[in-house]
Structure 1
Amino acid sequence: MVIRAEDVRRSYGETVALDGVSFSVEAGEVFALIGPNGAGKTTLIRALTGTTDAEGTVELFGAPPTDVARHRIGLLPQEFSPAGRLTARELVAYYAGLYDESRDVDAVLSDVGLEDSAGTWYENLSGGQKRRACVGTALVNDPELLVLDEPTTGIDPTGRRDLWRLVERLADGGTTVLLTTHYMEEAEELADRVGLLADGRLVTLGSPGELVARHGGDSRLVVEAEDEMAASRALESAGYDLLPDERHVAVPVGPEEIPAVVEMLEAADVEYGGLVWRQPSLDDVYVALTGTDVTAGGDPIEGGRP
C-alpha cells in the first residue's frame, strides 16, 4: 500500500477543512480526488505530503510522510511560481540537481512537450507551457508516487490530453499517481478509482464506472426546444417522464427510442433546435450526492494557509 489515510482531520480556526477522511491507494494505481474549490482537496494533499499538520493517521509507503525519502515522491502543488528568468531547461535542471540521481533533463522536457521551448524563459512561456514545465519538475526524480494538484489547470485541451497520455504511460510503468481535479472528464479518463470530496468529507469512493452506475441516474434525451412548456406538455402527454434540474427538457430514454420521440414532437408541432442524447457522468454523480455542481464554490483555505 502506497497511501493510507485514516480519519484525517484539519481545521483552521472554526473552519473545518477535513472532516474524517479515510482511503488508501495501492501501488500502480491512479487515484483522483474530485471536488470544487473549497472541498478540501489541497488541504488533504498537504496533509498527505507532510506539509501541514493533521489529526488522524497518514502514511506513505508504511511510514509518516516526513520520514519518507524525498526522491520517492514527486509533488506538483496547485500554486507554484518559479523564477521567471529561468529557462524551461534551467528550471527542470535546478530540480534535478536537488537529488543524488535524476532523469535526463531533455527527456523530461520531451515528456511534457517542451522540447521546442526548452530555451524560453519561464516568464515568456504560455500559461499551458508554464504548467507543463512545472509538471516536469515533479517528474525529474523519477518518483514512485506522483502527486498532482490540479495538474492541467490553464492548459489548452490538446495539451491537457497530452498530459493525460503521459500520466497513463507513467502508471503503466508502475508509478502510483494521486491527482486532484475539478475536471470530471479528466478523472473519468485517467483514474482507476475516484473519491468525491465535499465540505471536507469523502462522500463516496469507487471506480468511475461503479459510481456512475450507482448514482448517475438514467441516460437521457435532452430536447432544446424553443417553447419548453409546449415540449414538456407533448412529452408528458405521450407518457414520458420529465427529468428535473435540466437546462432544457429531458426524458429518460435509450438511443433506440429517439426516432419515436422525434416523430411525436413533429406530430405535436413542437419546434426544437437540437436533440442531444447523453449518458450519465461523474458530474451527475456529484450533483446527486452533494446537491452542488463541481464547478461551484470557493474556499479561502485552498489558496494557502490563513
Structure 2
Amino acid sequence: MEAVVEATDVRKTYGETVALSGASLSVEGGEVFALIGPNGAGKTTLVRALTGTTEPDSGRARIMGDSPMAVDRSRLGVLPQNFSPPDRLSAHELIAYYAGLYDNARDPDDVLADVGLADTGETWYEDLSGGQQRRVCVGATLVNDPDVLFLDEPTTGIDPAGRRTVWRLIEELAASGTTVLLTTHDMAEAERLADRVGLLADGSVIARGTPTELVREHGGSSRLTIETAAGPDAFADLEYPVDRPERGRGQTPDSVVVVRDIDPVAIATVVDYLERHDLEYTGLTWSEPNLEDVYLALADGTELERTDRADETDDGADLQQTGETA
C-alpha cells in the first residue's frame, strides 16, 4: 500500500542544535502511527516538517504524494503541541470560527459532542479546565473532516475519562479511513491506539513496528519483582536468573531484585525458595514486558547520554566561571 505520510532522511538544525538527523517514516492510509521518544528528540520538529510549518534543511516530506506546501490544506487536520485560541470565546464559538474557514465544515455541535463537551458549548474557553480546553483544540482540528490528521500530544492535561473519549474518537476516525499520526509520551496511549509505533531518539527513528513486534524484539522477558533487602547472590540456587532492576523502575536499586523469564505459575516456586532460605520480603509483583519497557530499553540510554553531555557542558562552564572569578 502506498504511504499517505512519508518522511525520508529529514534533517533540521537550529543553529548548533540538531533537531533531526535523518528521520524517516511512512504511514499508510487509515493507519494510526504513534511517534514516541524523549523530550528534545525531534518529534514536534518532524511533525512540523511533515505539515509544512517547518522547512527541512534536507530530505523529503510528502503527504498524499505531494509536498506539504502543495497539498490541499482542507484535507488536513493539525493539532500543534502548543495551541492557544482566544480566551473570550465560548467553546461553541471557537469551533464555529474554525468551521468557517472551510466550505464543507461539520456542524460545531456534532464536533463538541464527539470530544465529550456537548454540555459546555456556551462556556468561555478561559473558564474551561485545562483538559476541556485541550479537547476543544482537538475538536478544532476535526471541523473539516480531514483525510489526514496530525496530533502532537493530543491528550496532554486531559483527565482519564476525557482521555478515553479522545481515544475512542481517534479509533473511530481511523476505522472510517482517516490516517492519523500522533506524538505521545503516554505508552498506554500508543499501545492502545497505534497500528505501528516509531521511536525517535537523537533526531532519527531508531525503531519502528507494531507494539507487539517492538515488545517482542526489545521489551525483554516477563519478570517477578521482589521487594527485599536480599541481593541477587542470595538467589544463587534458584533456577531463574535474578538481578537488580534497570534504571527507571521506580524502586531504589537496593530495595528490590528481579526474577526473569518466569511464568506466573512458577511464582509459588520462588515463594517456597524465599521461605526455605529465610529471606524476608514485603511484596511480589509479576509483569509482562510492554511498550514502556521498549522505551526504557531504547531511549533511556540516549537520555542518559544527553544528560551526561549537558552535565559535562555545565561542569565546564562552572570551571570556566570559577577560573574567571578567581
Q: Is the pair's TM-score, using the shorter chain for normalization, greater than 0.5? A: yes
Q: Partner amino acid for 1:242?
A: V
Given that 2:10 and 2:59 are in contact with CA atoms closer than 8 Å, whether structure 1 keeps it comes out as yes
Residue of structure 2 equivalent to 1:15: 17
Structure 2: 5+ residue stretches without partners: 308-326
Q: Partner amino acid for 2:7?
A: A
Counterpart CA distance in 2 for 1:257 and 1:58 is 50
The number of residue pairs the alignment matches comes to: 295
Q: SS in structure 2 opposite 1:39? A: coil
| Amino-acid identity (%) | 59
Residue of structure 2 equivalent to 1:121: 124
2:194 counterpart of 1:186: no
Alignment root-mean-square deviation, CA: 1.8
User: Quick one: which of 85, 107, 111 aligns to 1:108?
Assistant: 111
Residue of structure 1 equivalent to 2:36: 34
Greater CA deviation, 280-289 or 203-212? 280-289
Counterpart CA distance in 1 for 2:302 and 2:293 is 9
Residue of structure 2 equivalent to 1:3: 5
Q: Partner amino acid for 1:6?
A: T
User: Cα distance, 1:37 vs. partner?
Assistant: 1.1
Structure 1: 5+ residue stretches without partners: 299-306
Q: Partner amino acid for 1:40?
A: G
Residue of structure 1 equivalent to 2:288: 279
Show CA shifts across 1:200-249 (max 9, x none).
11111110100100111101011122x243xx343233243124415331
Counterpart CA distance in 2 for 1:295 and 1:185 is 23
Q: 1:168 to 1:215 in 2, by over 3 A?
A: same
User: Cα distance, 1:294 vs. partner?
Assistant: 7.8
Q: SS in structure 2 opposite 1:129? A: helix
Given that 2:24 and 2:204 are in contact with CA atoms closer than 8 Å, whether structure 1 keeps it comes out as no
Counterpart CA distance in 1 for 2:278 and 2:169 is 51
Residue of structure 2 equivalent to 1:302: none
Show CA shifts across 1:136-191 (max 9, x none).
00011100001000001001122111211111011011110000001111111000
Counterpart CA distance in 2 for 1:222 and 1:261 is 11
Counterpart CA distance in 2 for 1:296 and 1:228 is 31
Residue of structure 2 equivalent to 1:140: 143
Residue of structure 2 equivalent to 1:58: 61
Q: Partner amino acid for 1:178?
A: L
Residue of structure 2 equivalent to 1:24: 26
User: Cα distance, 1:69 vs. partner?
Assistant: 1.1
Show CA shifts across 1:102-127 (max 9, x none).
11111100000001111111101011
Q: Which has the higher contact order (CA 8 A, sep 6+)?
A: 1
Q: Partner amino acid for 1:235?
A: F
2:99 counterpart of 1:96: yes
TM-score, length basis structure 1: 0.92
* Pairs within 5 Å for 1:157-176: 157-176=160-179
Q: 1:140 to 1:52 in 2, by over 3 A?
A: same
Given that 2:20 and 2:202 are in contact with CA atoms closer than 8 Å, whether structure 1 keeps it comes out as yes
Given that 2:37 and 2:299 are in contact with CA atoms closer than 8 Å, whether structure 1 keeps it comes out as no
Q: SS in structure 2 opposite 1:65? A: coil
Residue of structure 1 equivalent to 2:242: 242
* Pairs within 5 Å for 1:189-204: 189-204=192-207
Given that 2:117 and 2:132 are in contact with CA atoms closer than 8 Å, whether structure 1 keeps it comes out as yes
Residue of structure 1 equivalent to 2:259: 251
Counterpart CA distance in 2 for 1:84 and 1:272 is 54
User: Cα distance, 1:297 vs. partner?
Assistant: 7.5
Show CA shifts across 1:249-295 (max 9, x none).
11111111111111211222223222111111122112222334889
Greater CA deviation, 188-197 or 287-296? 287-296
Residue of structure 2 equivalent to 1:301: none
User: Cα distance, 1:13 vs. partner?
Assistant: 0.8
Counterpart CA distance in 2 for 1:45 and 1:167 is 18
Q: Which has the larger radius of gyration?
A: 2
Given that 2:201 and 2:302 are in contact with CA atoms closer than 8 Å, whether structure 1 keeps it comes out as no
User: Cα distance, 1:53 vs. partner?
Assistant: 0.7
Counterpart CA distance in 2 for 1:260 and 1:234 is 15
Show CA shifts across 1:28-64 (max 9, x none).
0000100121010000000000001102111101000
